[in-house]
Amino acid sequence: MLLKKLFNGSDAAGFWVLAAIGLMLVWVSVANLALPADHPLHVSTYTVTLLGKFLCYALLAVSIDLIWGYAGILSLGHGAFFALGGYAMGMYLMRQIGDRGQYGNPNLPDFMVFLNWHELPWYWQGFEHFWFAALMIVLVPGLLAGLFGWLAFRSRVSGVYLSIITQALTFALMLAFFRNEMGFGGNNGLTDFKDILGFSISDDRTRIALFVASGLALIGGYLLARAVVRSRFGRVLVALRDAEPRTRACGYPVARYKLLVFVLSAMLAGVAGALYVPQVGIINPGEFSPLSSIEAVAWVATGGRGTLFGPIIGAFAVNYSKTELTTLAPELWLFFLGGLFILVTVFLPQGLVSLFRRKAKTPPASVTKADVTEANTTKAKPTEAKS
């Protein structure tokens, strides 16, 4: 009965998910800070960090859903924007270390001293200011997405082609960031952070603040994405997702719509990455690996794309399973993840949320016409991808 109420309203489900997140933010903060460590309801800092990580992942999932669920752009390289946001934050945190590094150089991060560099590269200038780093956190992913999207959408690269070249993009970035000469710490990445905005990064209160910030960012990102998809702009996105040639024929500049939503999504991913880095305390090129990006796509697919709140559920569900499974039986995790991909795509194309949705009276708005028609035919379409 509660479920019915949940999923019947226009965005009642989204509201409840947000409410649950809000509740979790308050409860975890209180339980971690106010309750003594031996209290049965005390939430450990480890759990706080873990949940904070999940919140960042959820924001990344929402950003992917915004383009995949509503504009039909499957990016297999969204981890790249997440990582770029993370690196921007990491650079700020590195500059905050000051002369407390191993080599005690007030100007240069340890790895640069190690590489015998004598001055800060130009692209590190300005990162000692938080406002500058914050700007870069959205600008760098946004610019890359803008450039990449402009090139791709202008020449109508879509469907699986786009997916593959986004994967190539993140793969190329990973290789590049692994190089020491890039000036981003190479293999080890950026780590050993000391404080953020003057607060010690290992302090419980800072951790709670970061956790709450991640939660608020997720709520903000969700509301922003919802505003976008409910606007006229969003309706055009759904139209081009379902019938791109027709939308184009109606006179809409399809490439521009896609580009805008792609850039917005990349910025959201950048913010998610930026909040992720101070909580886990490290950012390295591994975040660029195609596998991380594809895992993020798995959260969205599992939760249910095209619903915005589904990916949040998916991110939490999959990552919680990952945490549990990798401690219980680490060798089974990849089987689980792989199996999840197969089960969800074959049996639950609309994700976990569709389990509840079927009970709803109204037909779900996000099942695309293309999906329905394509699912009924066995005809392979080698060059066109619309899902």
Partner 1 sequence: MNTQPTVLSNFSLPLQWTLRLLLQWPLQWLLRLSWLVLMALLFLPPAQAESIAPGSATVSALAEGGMARSQALNDWIEQPPADPADAAALHALNHDRLFVHTTAPARLGVEHADGQLRDPASGAVLGTSTDTGWEKIRLNNAIRIKLRPRIDLLDLRAPDAAVRHAAAEDLFSARLTPAYVQEIKALIPTLAEPETQAKLGQLVAGFELNDPNPQVRLAAVAGVADVLDPEIRARLAPLAENDPDPTVKAAAKAALDSIQRRVDVWQFSQNLVFGLSLGSVLLLSAIGLAITFGVMGVINMAHGEMMMIGAYTTWVLQQLLPNHLSAALFLAIPAAFVVAGLVGIAIERGLIRFLYGRPLETLLATFGLSLMLQQAARLIFSPLNRAVALPEFMQGSWALNPVFAITFNRMYILIFSLLVFFALLLLLKRSTFGLRIRAVAQNRQMARACGVRSGWVDALTFGLGSGIAGVAGVALALITNVGPNLGQNYIVDSFMVVVLGGVGNLWGTLVAGMGIGVLNKFLEPYAGAVLAKVVVLVLVILVIQKRPRGLFPQKGRAAEE
Kindly list the residues in this chain that would bind partner 1 in the complex (CB under 8 A): 74, 76, 148, 151-152, 154-157, 159-161, 163-165, 167-169, 171-172, 175-176, 178-179, 290, 294, 297-298, 301, 331, 334-335, 337-342, 344-346, 349, 371, 374-375, 377-385, 387
Task: Choose between 63 and 166: whose C-beta lies nearer to partner 1.
Answer: 166
User: How far are the Cα atoms of 13, 81, 125 from residue 129, in angstroms, in the given order?
Assistant: 39, 21, 9
Asked if 287 and 178 touch (Cβ cutoff 8 Å), the reply is: no
In whole angstroms, how close is the CB of 140 to partner 1 at the nearest point? 17
Residue 283, strand partner residues:
190
In whole angstroms, how close is the CB of 283 to partner 1 at the nearest point? 19
Q: How many C-beta neighbours within 10 Å does residue 142 have?
A: 23
HSE (CB half, 13 Å, CA atoms) of 137?
22
Backbone angles phi, psi at 350, to 5 degrees: -100, 10
Q: Collect all residues with Cβ–Cβ distance below 8 Å to 214 and sequence separation of at least 6.
A: 52, 55, 56, 59, 275, 276, 279
Residue carrying structure tokens 């006229």: 232
Task: Please state, in angstroms and rounded to a whole number, the distance separating the CA atoms of residues 261 and 301.
Answer: 19
In whole angstroms, how close is the CB of 184 to partner 1 at the nearest point? 14
In whole angstroms, how close is the CB of 232 to partner 1 at the nearest point? 26
In whole angstroms, how close is the CB of 367 to partner 1 at the nearest point? 13
Task: Please state, in angstroms and rounded to a whole number, the distance separating the CA atoms of residues 315 and 302.
Answer: 8
Q: How many C-beta neighbours within 10 Å does residue 370 have?
A: 17
User: How far are the Cα atoms of 169, 223, 248 from residue 185, in angstroms, in the given order?
Assistant: 20, 36, 45
In whole angstroms, how close is the CB of 88 to partner 1 at the nearest point? 20
Task: Choose between 227 and 334: whose C-beta lies nearer to partner 1.
Answer: 334
Residue 269, both tokens: 């991913």
Residue 59, both tokens: 């924001």
Task: Choose between 154 and 246: whose C-beta lies nearer to partner 1.
Answer: 154
In whole angstroms, how close is the CB of 148 to partner 1 at the nearest point? 8
Q: Which amino acid is at 310?
A: G
Task: Choose between 41 and 380: whose C-beta lies nearer to partner 1.
Answer: 380
Task: Choose between 170 and 279: whose C-beta lies nearer to partner 1.
Answer: 170
In whole angstroms, how close is the CB of 109 to partner 1 at the nearest point? 21
Task: Choose between 98 and 159: whose C-beta lies nearer to partner 1.
Answer: 159
In whole angstroms, how close is the CB of 241 to partner 1 at the nearest point? 11
Task: Please state, in angstroms and rounded to a whole number, the distance separating the CA atoms of residues 345 and 67.
Answer: 18
Asked if 265 and 72 touch (Cβ cutoff 8 Å), the reply is: no
Task: Choose between 187 and 202: whose C-beta lies nearer to partner 1.
Answer: 187
Task: Choose between 104 and 339: whose C-beta lies nearer to partner 1.
Answer: 339
Q: Which amino acid is at 355?
A: L
Residue carrying structure tokens 């480890």: 46
Asked if 356 and 6 touch (Cβ cutoff 8 Å), the reply is: yes
Task: Choose between 25 and 254: whose C-beta lies nearer to partner 1.
Answer: 254
In whole angstroms, how close is the CB of 170 to partner 1 at the nearest point? 9
Asked if 75 and 69 touch (Cβ cutoff 8 Å), the reply is: no
Task: Choose between 2 and 380: whose C-beta lies nearer to partner 1.
Answer: 380
Residue 157, both tokens: 């690269």
Task: Please state, in angstroms and rounded to a whole number, the distance separating the CA atoms of residues 83 and 137.
Answer: 10
